[in-house]
Structure 1
Amino acid sequence: MAGGIGAKKVDVTWATEESGLLLGVSVKTINFRDKSGKGHFQKNLTNRRGDMLIEAVTLHRRFPYSVLAGLFFLDKDAENDGTSRRKSTFINAHQRLKLFTGRGDPAGRDEQFERFYLILLDAGSLHANVRAYAVGDATTEIPMSDVIDDLIELVAIRNPDFYEAENGRLKKLK
């Protein structure tokens, strides 16, 4: 996808010829413990954050009305890898990413995502259990259906001449 400061690959995009980028979803993961013997999941947290911020700046500069969402998947054990000297990866990720979520206005800060979610994933279970949380709120679990519904609603709000949200679906206006 062409962006404001160069091309950027984005994991999920929805664009039209008339509107350009309507929705972009950046997906990042940290699923393996640090091999240094510390046993936590924080090794690449700063790098993943940087990758996501470059995506947001690049896309918002070219498509200021687009809705950008970050989905950051962590292994479920990242919730409990804290020690007496360090908070868990899950809590640290909330603190380090909070500044980069909540872009409510197309004229807002380019580096912010409209929505940013931390998702704890139990990939080892038979049914891949996931628990989603809005970045900045490590206590309130959000059903994935609500995450999707919220993004659909935001796309409709940003494009009121073309779409409206109805029962979790985007409806094209005639």
Structure 2
Amino acid sequence: MARSPKTKIENSINAELTAAGDRAKMITRAEKKNYAEILSRNLAQTFANSLRSSLPGILPDPDGKGQESKVRSSKGFKKLDVNYSTVELGLGLGVSIKTINFRDPGTKRYTKNYTRVDGELRAEASDYHERQPYAVMVAVIFLPIDSCDDGGVAAGPSSFGQAVQIFRFRSGRDSPKEAAMLFERVLIGLYETDPDRFGDVVFFDVMSPPPRNGRPTTTLTFSDAIERIVDTYDGRNSPRFEWADAAPEKVTAPPIEADEEE
């Protein structure tokens, strides 16, 4: 069920988490899977709403239509959480939302599903980029913020630290000529599950150095995360030109003047 089409300005996903159901009551694998799917759809709506002023026509639309819209890939049509496509660009920007919400009962860590999520991201990036190499793909992976607190001498890096280690290898595609299996950018959203701050969220770019254990001291707000996504898109489609004596500006290729006849 999509959220109301307001722009996201607060650093909270309380409404999205609440709409997914009571976390404490999610016991079975089916219940947890359903929780993750509802949360992902609501987060996709939130990201689309917040990107819409920069990218008009992005899906899902303000009414929630276009959830998991289909996009042509090298293996036929595939569903994409957030999709900005135009006639001129084809797929201009795709945002893939992943959530890992519950500790593994055995290890008491969040790392069990990292390999599965990384495999899903690899397939998505490859299939879209092979057909549309200029498309900008961004992944946003959500983890409870207590994933930062389960490391130690014996356990090694925290679940969050290990997530950055793993998903960094999926990020950093700076050119259409680079490997199709990479995303242009990968962000991790860390959200609070403590009742007093339930849903408060910060973001971390996996290309930044994380603490091996504990919570990062340098993070992005929701607005920062949206700005970073837009900047990544603009960097591919409207790169900034640096002047020596003036402010940088977004430019396209200079117009080519017609040759004068002799």
TM-score normalised over the length of structure 2:
0.57
1:21-66: CA deviations, max 9, x gaps? 0110011011101022x21111111101111111111111111111
User: Within 1, Cα distance between the matches of 2:132 and 2:198?
Assistant: 37
2:110 is aligned, of 41, 44, 60, to 41
Deviations 1:47-106 (A, max 9, x none): 011111111111111111111101000011111112423321100011111122111111
2:174 is matched with: 104
Residues 22-33 of structure 1 correspond to what in structure 2 (within 5 A)? 22-33=92-103
Structure 2 residue identity aligned to 1:129 = D
Higher percent of residues as helix: 2
Q: Which runs of 5+ in 1 are unaligned?
A: 162-174
Structure of greater Rg: 2
In 2: Cα distance, 1:63 partner to 1:85 partner: 41
Residue ranges of structure 2 left out of the alignment (5+ in a row): 1-70, 211-215, 240-262
Match for residue 205 of structure 2 among 87, 109, 134: 134
Matching of residues 1-174 of structure 1 within 5 Å: 1-36=71-106, 38-83=107-152, 84-125=154-195, 128-137=199-208, 138=210, 139=216, 140-160=218-238
Question: Where does residue 167 of structure 1 map in the other structure?
Answer: none
Kept in 2: contact 1:97–1:136 (CA 8 A): no
More off after superposition, 111-120 vs 137-146: 137-146
Q: Letter of the 2:203 partner, please give it.
A: A
Contact kept in structure 2, 1:67 and 1:151, CA below 8 Å: no
Once residues 144 and 63 of structure 1 are traced to their aligned partners in structure 2, the CA distance between those partners, rounded to angstroms, is: 28
The CA RMSD over aligned residues, in Å, is 2.0
What is the CA distance between 1:118 and its match in structure 2? Answer: 1.1
Residue deviations 1:91-145, cap 9 Å, x none? Answer: 0011111122111111111111111011111145465111101013224312221
Determine the C-alpha separation between the residues in 2 that align with 1:17 and 1:75: 38
Counterpart code for 1:128: G
Counterpart-to-counterpart distance in 2, 1:119 and 1:141: 10
Q: Is the 8 A contact 2:148 2:158 kept in 1?
A: yes
Higher relative strand content: 1
TM-score, normalised with respect to structure 1: 0.84
Change (3 A) 1:35 1:2: same
Conserved? CA contact 2:185–2:232, under 8 Å: no
